[in-house]
A and B are shown apart, each in its own frame.
Chain A
Amino acid sequence: MSTATATVTGPDAAPRRRGSRLSPPLLIAFALGAFLVLSAVRAFTGGNDLTSSGTIAAGLSAAVPIGLAGLGGLWSERAGVVNIGLEGMMILGTWGCAYLGWDHGAWAGLLFGTLLGALGGLVHAVATVTFGVDHIISGVAINIIAPGLALYLTKVTFVHYPGGGQKQSPPIGDAGSITLPFSDWLHTVEDKHWFAVSDLAGVLGGLVTRLSLVTLLAALVVLASAWILWRTAFGLRLRSCGEAPHAAESLGVNVYKYKYIAVIVSGALAGLGGAALAIAAHQFRDGQTGGRGFIGLAALIFGNWRPGALAAGAGLFGYTDAIQLRSSSAVHPLLLLMAIALALVAIWQWRTGQRAIAVVAVVIAVLAVLWYIDTDRVPDELVGTTPYVVTILVLALASQRLRMPKADGRVYRRGEET
């Protein structure tokens, strides 16, 4: 009989896990590394569009609708309501923007588009919060109703005006933009095609040349959301509804009220995103959103339900979107970039013990390299899918350490035990 003392521990000896947030210096190093890889690929392949100021500017404006939709998702999901209806609310926003925008100016359109989006949010809130409808079902319903409604309204309203038609609105005016004085100089440097230096000039040039005021507004909205949700009492209460609504209720937080506010703001932001899309395209067109609401959700997940990382995700998706829109030849070097990124993912995943994912990443990377070597360009039919392929790859490979709000997507009823 052994006389060893007991070493049995209780089941509640919780392991202390480190948070998954990166420290600022690490983040900067990471961004710098990514930038150098990018410029190396640019120099090696001669695909100058990869870092041209035009691409960056286009990427930025493509990122705005995605980011705003994702931010809408952030508000809603932080309060525990999954909002898959972002796409539909965005469509309402594009139409609303055109409705007032074509003869009252872009900013009036922006406001009305936001309002219509908020209305979509209100419908979702009534369905999910008051009537306890499954969040996905309500969201899908909105996604089905919104485009039909927008198309119907287009036929009713726009057909008789100059430039309007069965499926599109008359042209919308410009929202205004700013250009910083040293942007010409940046363009000069960019055109030299020096390694890293010209790339930096291209990126900066893209950011400061004809920067849309809508983009600035979007950046402000991201900052404001971060401050409101994480620095104010209001934000704490709102987030508590997504983490532990019963606990919140027991402390006197009116969970229904906060969920309503969150979902309406969510719709408003999606509507704003849609309006930004319409302004960038200078009109409303049927099918204009092209799934950007869903990509916004992907950016939200990629960003681990946090505004900063969400914005970075939106930037990534916007960038790939811009590349495929600008020149199909620039998608070809993107294959190489993708291969490098996947190889890095593979190394990292291998080291953290995720062997299967590492192997998958390596296989895709090798295929991408082979494809790159074997061809001169990506077929035009596939070019348009670039942002979606990137979305899937990023989500598949980067989504292991994500943490959604705990009560996200669950129908909450006051007084009911969990």
Chain B
Amino acid sequence: MPQPVQPVTAGTPATSELAIEVLGITKRFPGVVANADVNIAVRRGTVHAIVGENGAGKSTLMKMLYGMQRPDEGEIRIDGKPVSFSSPSDAIAAGVGMVHQHFMLADNFTVLENIVLGSEPTARGALDFGAARRRITELSRTYGLGLNPDVLVEHLGVGDRQRVEIAKVLYRGARLLILDEPTAVLVPHEVEELFQNLRELKNEGLTILFISHKLDEVISVADDITVIRRGRTVGTANPHSTTPRQLAELMVGSELPSPETRSDTVSDRTVLSVRGLTVTAEGGRTVLDDLSFDIHAGEIFGIAGVEGNGQSELVEALMGIRPIAAGTVTLNARDITATSTRNRRLAGIGYIPEDRQRQGLLLEAPLWENRVLGHSDSAPNIKGPLIDRAGARRDTERIVAEFDVRTPGIDVPALALSGGNQQKLIVGRELSGEPVLLIASQPTRGVDVGAQAAIWDHVRRARASGLAVLLISADLEELIGMSDSIRVILRGAFVAEADPATITAEDLGAAMTGAGTVSGAA
């Protein structure tokens, strides 16, 4: 029995049997060190969380544990024995299974087909559907997964799909499950169901490695926590004696800023004025009903609401992407109701779209080309009729430095960046060129605390210099902390107004469902 090395500060179990150990793993990519001397010890039959910012090296670590990449240095031990995986098949054979963040499922296959694919039971040359069905039903019962083997996956919700992914791994006999950001795609009650599943798996003696940056979730489900910062293990924590804030500070490595913007910078000058804005969907359904509001220079105007109540339509209408049925939009006293999207941007609207990968970036294009995107009409991106490569590249370097975009260079494609760094690039781009109005839709969604703080900081500074901001966010703390005034949107209409200085997240949440009462209801 090899003596488990004391990898990091404190809290490492010396007596418990270890399911997996990571000893001094280092992984370098051209231009970056993704992991440097990472040490982790995971006790058998526990949920072990690995937390870190986006881009801290969690995913690289997981890929090495699952055989998708090989470490440059260091050793991985499973049940005390050193292993070397050259492909996921080796990892599966050693009892390691991975539940991917993006589901790897065929929609047009049944649950059964998805689970058995690649290791099918056969009888007389044919796939033995009976045996497969029995095995899956048994698995489903043992671990409380509640799966019906004969349903098409396309009919399943996100939570069920995730359980299919878990079943796939269990079916292959995994004793160690790696879950990469499993809660990113789930709604709260599905998260609770997942945690229930994880507890049952744990009770059956399985070991779970849980990657996340959602700290409250980690604290609620994990038995041990290892924190990774910039590719290094910086410490372990006991979830019973740690607060999310302490964990976050360990993760970021410094004191956390909060989203407060208490200094008052709101001026009298109206930047955006919306009157009677109405949008109808195909079929005549009203999705935005007679909205009127003003946003002043130096004001952050927050909109709270359950997703799907007209927020996306409002943003698209303001950007000129979606046709409006009635109403006027005025920017700096100029009527832009009938203006094209491009001209609206030229008039000084910056736009952080809610889906950065689909609407905000060209994933295959290098960072500097993404910098030019949407700003291809103005300096420093053009010189005469041509793209000014040198100028654009120089300015991209500036954004990378100013907004702390962690990247090996400005020639890597945007998809090589982690989500938080992609978002910082977009924020940097949209705050360039002195916009007068910033439309920020979910600016920090899926972004770790460090990047979140950086983004808040930049928006706050721009606000101080007179920027008007329309902020739409599902993160109520962010909304309350950042906004100068808040409206609650429900079924396309403002149903309440809230004062961010006094309202609590609970009250705001209640108002969003139409249940609570807030001061000044419309």
A residues sitting closer than 8 Å to B (CB atoms) are 1-6, 8, 10-14, 16-17, 19, 227, 231-233, 235-237, 239-240, 243-244, 246-248, 250-253, 403, 405-406, 417
Contact = CB atoms under 8 A, between A and B. Distances in A.
Contacts of B327: none
Interface stretch (B112-120, B136-144, B256-264): B112-120
B122 A233 contact: yes
B307 A11 contact: yes
Interface stretch (B2-10, B77-85, B448-456, B509-517): B509-517
Contacts of A4: 514-515
A2 B107 CA distance: 41
B156 A2 contact: no
A248 B117 CA distance: 7
Contacts of A16: 155
A8 B107 contact: no
A5 B515 contact: yes
Given A8-B308, A11-B307, A248-B117, A231 B104 contact: no
Interface in B68-91: 88-89
Contacts of A252: 88-89, 92, 118-119
B1 interface: no
Report the interface size class on chain B: 35 or more
Contacts of B187: 10, 12
Chief secondary structure at chain B's binding surface = loop
Contact of B118 (A6, A10, A251): A251
A235 B154 CA distance: 20
A101 B349 CA distance: 74
B401 interface: no
A5 B514 CA distance: 6
B195 interface: no
B490 to A, nearest CB: 8
B118 A248 contact: yes
Nearest to A248: B117
Given A8-B308, A8-B309, A251-B117, 11 more contacts: A2-B514, A8-B513, A11-B308, A12-B158, A236-B116, A239-B109, A247-B104, A247-B106, A250-B100, A250-B104, A253-B117
Contacts of A248: 106, 117-118
Contacts of A11: 307-308
Given A11-B307, A12-B158, A417-B415, A5 B513 contact: yes
A71 B393 CA distance: 53
Interface of B: 88-89, 92, 100, 104-109, 113-114, 116-120, 122, 125-127, 152, 154-158, 168, 187, 306-309, 415, 495-496, 512-515, 517-518, 521
A247 B109 CA distance: 12
Contacts of A227: 126
Contact of A250 (B88, B119, B496, B514): B88
Query: What 7 A-B pairs come out closest when comparing CB atoms?
Result: A6-B513, A251-B118, A233-B120, A247-B104, A243-B106, A244-B106, A1-B521
Contacts of B309: 8
A403 B39 CA distance: 49
Nearest to B515: A5
B105 A1 contact: no
Given A1-B495, A237-B117, A252-B88, A243 B109 contact: yes
A162 B152 CA distance: 59
